[in-house]
Amino acid sequence: MQRECLPVTREMVLSKANEAYRVLYSPARSAGLLGDGWVKRFFSRHPKLSLRVPQVISRARNQVRQENLDHLLNQLIKHAIERKLTNDRVFNMDETGFGQKTKSRKVIAVRGPKNVWTKCIDMSFHLTLVACVSASGSCLPPLFLLPGQCLNRDILSKCSVSGATVAVAPKALTSQATFVFIKWLEHFAANVPSFVIRPLLLIYDGCASHYSKRIVEMKIILLLLPPNSTQILQPLDVSVFKPFKTSLRRSMDRFMIGEDVSSLTKKEAISLASGAC
């Protein structure tokens, strides 16, 4: 069931156990149902099992096809052999965003009151971070993307990551995704050292419509991940973005308490995000 993304709950196991109990000991003993004690003994008898909180996965992501994964591997091997790729020429990129959505977590509070409230940081804009790493373990400076038409110098001055780029993407742009991707590719090509042999192989989760003549000129080969497969094939999601977001949230909490504020400006957001890198 777990492999089919349909893990059973504690209540389901207990219900089945009580059904078996009634069959074995007849309805006359149905008053004495199995409870918490039986569940504890069940887990002690099966130490490989534990109660865990599952991650929700959409129907589309649960239907990743094996042939698509095989095709990706074959394409990767083909490029590696034909172009004699080394680790420092293979890159993986991904993006993550920060907005108004926040998760609540456990805090220390006085016993008694039923409800414990907390303020949350209010952001009237969406900040996007684009990260990229190579197969050799090197990390390129990130790109921070803000909505808008132009950037003030005071916003740029708040970015503390050496070599990082802060850019804007006009909201009214119809081909915004392609615009952002090309802007990031220019940042990518400029930050890969000149001594690294071209062409470069970039593995990413994107759209084939991003391909353009400009990409050919920059000597970049795009290798797209199969649709709805990022939870399997995108290492940046867990190895980089998860600890980064944890660090960023702590910084935001300290900033909110220290400055007694409940909203962030673009300048403050860039300062906190770059400080968490």
What Rg value do the Cα atoms of the chain yield, rounded? Answer: 25
- Over residues 170-225, the pLDDT tens digits come to 764 445 566 677 778 888 998 999 999 999 999 988 655 556 677 888 899 989 88
Residue of higher predicted confidence among 221 and 6: 221
Q: Which of 98, 108, 153, 105 shows the shortest CA–CA distance to 128?
A: 98
Q: Which of 32-41, 100-109, 167-176 has the lowest mean pLDDT?
A: 167-176
H and E: helices and strands count for the chain:
10, 6
Residue of higher predicted confidence among 27 and 152: 152
CB 168 within 8 A of CB 147: yes
Q: Give the pLDDT confidence score for residue 101 in this predicted structure.
A: 55
Residue 138, classified by CB atoms within 10 Å of its CB into exposed (0-12), middle (13-18) or buried (19+), is: middle
Q: Decide: helix, strand or coil at residue 39.
A: helix
CB 224 within 8 A of CB 92: no
Instruction: Please state which CATH class domain 65-109+116-275 belongs to.
Output: alpha beta
Whether residue 66 is predicted with pLDDT greater than 50 in this model: the reply is yes
The winner for highest mean pLDDT among 82-96, 142-156, 247-261 is 82-96
Average pLDDT in the chain = 82
- pLDDT band at residue 116 using 50, 70 and 90 as cut-offs: confident
Q: Which of 64, 81, 24, 15 shows the shortest CA–CA distance to 42?
A: 15
- pLDDT band at residue 26 using 50, 70 and 90 as cut-offs: low
CB 230 within 8 A of CB 206: no
The winner for highest mean pLDDT among 70-79, 179-188, 198-207, 229-238 is 70-79
Q: Give the pLDDT confidence score for residue 9 in this predicted structure.
A: 87
Residue of higher predicted confidence among 152 and 63: 152
Locate 188 and state its tokens. 């990518």
CA distance 262 to 255: 9
CA distance 99 to 124: 8
Rounded mean pLDDT of 145-172? 84
The HSE-up count of residue 120 (CA atoms within 13 Å, CB side) is 11
Contacts of 202 (CB under 8 A, 6+ apart): 91, 92, 93, 132, 188, 220, 221, 222, 223
- pLDDT band at residue 238 using 50, 70 and 90 as cut-offs: confident
Contacts of 220 (CB under 8 A, 6+ apart): 185, 188, 189, 199, 200, 202
Strand 90-98 with 165-169, pairing: unpaired
Q: Give the pLDDT confidence score for residue 2 in this predicted structure.
A: 65
Other CB atoms within 10 Å distance of the CB of residue 225 = 19
Q: Give the pLDDT confidence score for residue 174 in this predicted structure.
A: 42
Locate 126 and state its tokens. 């969406």
Q: Where are the domains of the chain?
A: 1-54, 65-109+116-275
